[in-house]
Amino acid sequence: MNEQTFSLSDIWRRGFSLCNYLITLGALTGLFFVAFEPSLGSNATYQNFANSSDSFFYYIYFLHLLLGLLYAGRLSSFFKHHFFDIVFFAPLLFINFKEVHSAHILLIKQGLHFFSTHLGHYTLGHFADSIARKPSRLVLSSFFGVIILGTFILVLPISVAPGHEPSLLTALFTSTSAVCVTGLIVVDTPVYFSTFGQIGILMLIQIGGLGLMTLSAGISLIAGKKMAMSQTSMMQEMLDLSDVSSLKSALKSIFLWSFLIEAIGAVILSTRFYILTKCCLADAVFTGIFHSISAFCNAGFSTFSDSLMGFNGDPVINFTIMGLIVTGGLGFVVLSSISVFLRGARNQRMNTHAYMVLTVSILLIFAGTLIIFVLEADSPVMSNLSISEKIMAALFQSVSTRTAGFNTIDFSSLKTSTLFFMSMLMFIGASPGSTGGGIKTTTFATLILFMRTKLRGETQVSLRGRGIADETILKAFLIVAISAILIFTFVFLLILTENHDLIKIIFEAFSAFATVGLSTGITSALTTSGKLLIIVLMFIGRTGPLTMALSITAQGIRSGIRYPDTRILVG
């Protein structure tokens, strides 16, 4: 009996290994299709081979999963070793069967597997050592790796709608914008990209919103895998946690909040889109899911060519999107604090960080609403709206301008004063640990508190009976200084390369740096140099200017030498 069991297990193992080889062959076939599609696409022999191999690799993949289940023996073990196969690639193959060639999807799967395997084995040598010495480089390299993978996916012929040609620069720009949850686009997303391409963008938004490190650590936790010591220490540093149990609790909280809020938003939006657009249920569900994830991740991507201008009078869509943007922009630490506070700790004071974030966010939202309404209420932009719709539009843009990038009014017709004020809102941005960008609300608040303290002649910066450390104040000044220098530099370079109004260039630069995604309509008209500058600015804005600076600078060497002070006149 034992001999027979061993024999069956051996057969399953050999069959599983054979399927692995065939899947690799499928990935190479996908690479062949990518290389020769432009020149051989109309060839009859090529078409016959493509059609016959499609079904073959489709069934091979699912045979691979079946044999993997039999070989694993237990469902938990199978789920642990095939998490991405079950959650992402199997549904992707099933949904797109007979529409997207299976070899293309296998190419993405094997490419991702190759990248993760070799990175895990530290085959990059000196690069891995530099990451170990400077953990901030791991953040940069993870975002960079996802951007490159996203570029490869979006440049595939299957990612582009019929009648459009794949473009490497367009794919790179869109991938960067999606991973950096910005929302700036050089092409019309629903027109240029196919359903497969839009799904790819959505996946990149979700990865970029949560962060690759957070996402991979959370998936490892859910799948029952143990995180390596280096990964654990990195995540503890990123989330400012002192022990492993707190890390696991924080990761569970992040995933719970993210997918619960996105799911609620998707249900509401899908239902409303189905009622208003009279489209089929499948399209309404996809549109609802897309906008829910895009809004919560503060990305600003839309499957409508005019963003949400067609729904500027609908309160359900407006307030649902605003709710998703605000919750995504507050940060997971604040959401957890609110949850604890509402679950029974109301007799206790909310922690200082959460209090600061909520206070500043509320003040900025209402101040922004008032100023936008005053500036644009009588302008042609809002001329066709009622008073209540004007207030709702002003509120929506106040919320969206700091973080998300959706618009319900035409930004190409806004006043110069409005664009300048919105640039300031974008510069402040969202809150730390959130899906948004900017210098962050707490950085802005810390500087205000510091100035208030010095003007009053006090010595310690404090809030609610708690002092703010000098190191935190110095870090806030450093973030603002680096950010201002970066934006001024890139605005100057864009002035040299582009022929547009100065305020529009300034607005575009602030939008890219703060990963907002709003535009006056000049993004698609940028030169190649201008697009590359915006790509770099989006990347710096998402990873953080201070993180970028720390990753580039040399390792600090402590010196015992201290020079005598001198006097310099300033101000």
Distance of CA 471 to the CA centre of its chain: 29
pLDDT tens figures, 135-155: 556 667 778 878 888 888 888
pLDDT tens figures, 156-179: 888 898 888 888 889 989 999 999
Residue 344, pLDDT > 50, answer yes
Extract the tokens encoding 118.
Answer: 């070799």
Domain match, 53 and 185 both: no
Q: How confident is the model at residue 121 (pLDDT cuts 50, 70, 90)?
A: very low
Residue 557 within any structural domain of the chain: no
Sign of dihedral through CA atoms 69, 75, 80, 82? positive
Four-CA torsion 234, 238, 242, 243, nearest 10 degrees:
-50
Residue 561 within any structural domain of the chain: no
Q: Which comes out higher in pLDDT, residue 71 or 438?
A: 438
173 vs 536: CA distance, rounded Å: 10
DSSP letter at 466 equals E
Would you mind telling me the total number of residues written for the chain in this entry? Answer: 571
Q: How confident is the model at residue 231 (pLDDT cuts 50, 70, 90)?
A: low
Residue 569 within any structural domain of the chain: no
Extract the tokens encoding 285.
Answer: 């569900």
Q: What's the whole-number average pLDDT of the chain?
A: 80
Q: What confidence score (pLDDT) does residue 116 get?
A: 57
- C-alpha dist (Å) from residue 227 to 135, 249, 355, 422, 433: 16, 14, 33, 42, 21
515 vs 101: CA distance, rounded Å: 33
Q: Could you tell me if 517 and 404 are in contact, meaning their C-beta atoms sit under 8 angstroms apart?
A: yes
Four-CA torsion 198, 199, 200, 204, nearest 10 degrees:
100
Backbone angles phi, psi at 182, to 5 degrees: -100, -60
Number of structural domains in the chain: 2
- 344 Cβ contact partners less than 8 Å away, ≥ 6 residues apart: none
Which residue type does 451 have? M
- Between CA 192 and CA 108, with CA 543 as vertex, the angle to 5 degrees is 45
Q: What confidence score (pLDDT) does residue 63 get?
A: 83
Extract the tokens encoding 159.
Answer: 């990612």
pLDDT tens figures, 256-271: 778 889 999 999 999 9
Q: Could you tell me if 403 and 297 are in contact, meaning their C-beta atoms sit under 8 angstroms apart?
A: no
Domain match, 257 and 367 both: yes
Residue 469, pLDDT > 60, answer yes
Domain match, 486 and 441 both: yes
Q: Could you tell me if 163 and 192 are in contact, meaning their C-beta atoms sit under 8 angstroms apart?
A: no
The closest alpha carbon to 486, from 404, 548, 551, belongs to 548
Domain match, 70 and 128 both: no
Q: What confidence score (pLDDT) does residue 112 get?
A: 66
- C-alpha dist (Å) from residue 79 to 217, 255, 297, 452: 16, 18, 27, 55
First to last CA, the chain: 89
Residue 420 within any structural domain of the chain: yes
186 vs 301: CA distance, rounded Å: 12
Residue 112 within any structural domain of the chain: no
Helix (H, G, I), strand (E, B) or coil at 421: helix
Extract the tokens encoding 44.
Answer: 């009859």
Minimum mean pLDDT range among 91-95, 328-332, 509-513, 534-538 = 91-95
Residue 558 within any structural domain of the chain: no
Q: Other CB atoms closer than 10 Å to residue 262's CB: what's the count?
A: 22
Task: For residues 512-541, give the mean pLDDT.
Answer: 90
Which of 69, 103, 137 delimits the end of a domain?
Answer: 103
212 vs 443: CA distance, rounded Å: 24
Minimum mean pLDDT range among 12-26, 189-203, 415-429 = 12-26
Domain match, 70 and 178 both: no
Domain match, 320 and 391 both: yes
Backbone angles phi, psi at 501, to 5 degrees: -60, 145
CA contacts within 13 A on the Cβ side of 29:
22
Sign of dihedral through CA atoms 239, 142, 437, 269? negative
Domain match, 94 and 182 both: no
Which residue type does 508 have? E
82 vs 327: CA distance, rounded Å: 32
538 vs 532: CA distance, rounded Å: 10
Residue 412 within any structural domain of the chain: yes
Q: What confidence score (pLDDT) does residue 348 get?
A: 58
Domain match, 203 and 236 both: yes
Residue 566 within any structural domain of the chain: no
- 61 Cβ contact partners less than 8 Å away, ≥ 6 residues apart: 19, 23, 26, 89, 90, 93, 102, 106
Domain match, 79 and 128 both: no
Residue 491, pLDDT > 60, answer yes
Minimum mean pLDDT range among 202-206, 252-256, 426-430 = 252-256
CA contacts within 13 A on the Cβ side of 149:
25
Domain match, 65 and 152 both: no
- Between CA 126 and CA 130, with CA 127 as vertex, the angle to 5 degrees is 85
Residue 562, pLDDT > 60, answer yes
Domain match, 135 and 57 both: no
Q: Could you tell me if 17 and 24 are in contact, meaning their C-beta atoms sit under 8 angstroms apart?
A: no
Name the residue range of residue 61's domain: 1-103
546 vs 134: CA distance, rounded Å: 13
Q: Other CB atoms closer than 10 Å to residue 393's CB: what's the count?
A: 25
Distance of CA 355 to the CA centre of its chain: 25
pLDDT tens figures, 271-319: 999 999 888 888 899 999 999 999 998 888 999 988 899 898 899 999 9
- Beta-bridge mates of residue 467: 462
Backbone angles phi, psi at 193, to 5 degrees: -95, 140
Domain match, 82 and 128 both: no
Q: Could you tell me if 462 and 456 are in contact, meaning their C-beta atoms sit under 8 angstroms apart?
A: no
